[in-house]
Structure 1
């Protein structure tokens, strides 16, 4: 799959899971070094926001927006995933006052499972995944242009419908 970064084509390697299929499991560390598994959230809808680099403007806007939504919606689990280091993520959260669950995929396991790795950039593609209470993928949006914000309204609508 190809997407663009400021108009230049880049290739994502791997295959994204299909809507309607069981979401691929993952185990990633959070900022407290606790392992978080997708299976931990069975029974609760999950919105996964994937950002290429937490220290860039659009990724920052996306993460802050979902952090605001997470504070207002109790029955949906919001997670942000990037392949930034734990230290980069922790520094960004401290500077921005963000307290949502942020996971780091420095090993590339999430990127492989969800087909989001861009070798040319060494980063994950921008995407949003919504997983229902049973662990089924009900929404997937990979941004065609990495430098643009995602469709928040549709993602939130799909997450609320998965409750």
Structure 2
């Protein structure tokens, strides 16, 4: 498993580490209106799955904004931002963010995504910061488990991977 710290303390990740070439596992998360969303709902597009511990923190906010800004310049690319924040809190963040096409999804109910992608921090019941690029055939083409949860991911590498997956 990836070695990850959160606020400089080692954490235990639950699930299996995914690598480029792996088939992207399906999952069920919740949209702001509490409807279920799965990976298959966006099949046929390239997905940047941006995983954040909590949407209303500085780095998570910046990560969500950066990926949505960059992806808006690309055709057939969607950004799915996933955290364990409650759908209601995510909805408030979306309303205040000024981002119109942002897709923020909650894994709070089942940790379905977190366990399938190996990003649940056991000690906190939060998701570790990570980025996955999934091509239109549901293959993982890029995976980054950010080594320290308060640090930014490598935006450039993820965006480049999304461009190549188009």
Q: TM-score with structure 1 length normalisation? A: 0.94
1:137 aligns with 140
**Deviation readout 1:87-127 (Å, 9 max, x if unpaired):** 11111111211231111001211111111111211200000
Contact kept in structure 2, 1:17 and 1:24, CA below 8 Å: no
Q: TM-score with structure 2 length normalisation? A: 0.92
**Is 1:126 aligned with 2:145?**
no
Superposition misfits of 4+ residues, deviation over 3 angstroms: none
2:84 aligns with 83
1:15 aligns with 16
Aligned length: 163
Q: Quick one: which of 98, 105, 108 aligns to 2:107?
A: 105
**Deviation readout 1:27-48 (Å, 9 max, x if unpaired):** 2221233322211222211110
Alignment of 1:11-160 (within 5 A): 11-99=12-100, 100-106=102-108, 107-160=110-163
Return 5+ residue gaps in structure 2 as ranges.
Answer: none
> What is the distance in 2 between the residues matched to 1:47 and 1:5?
22
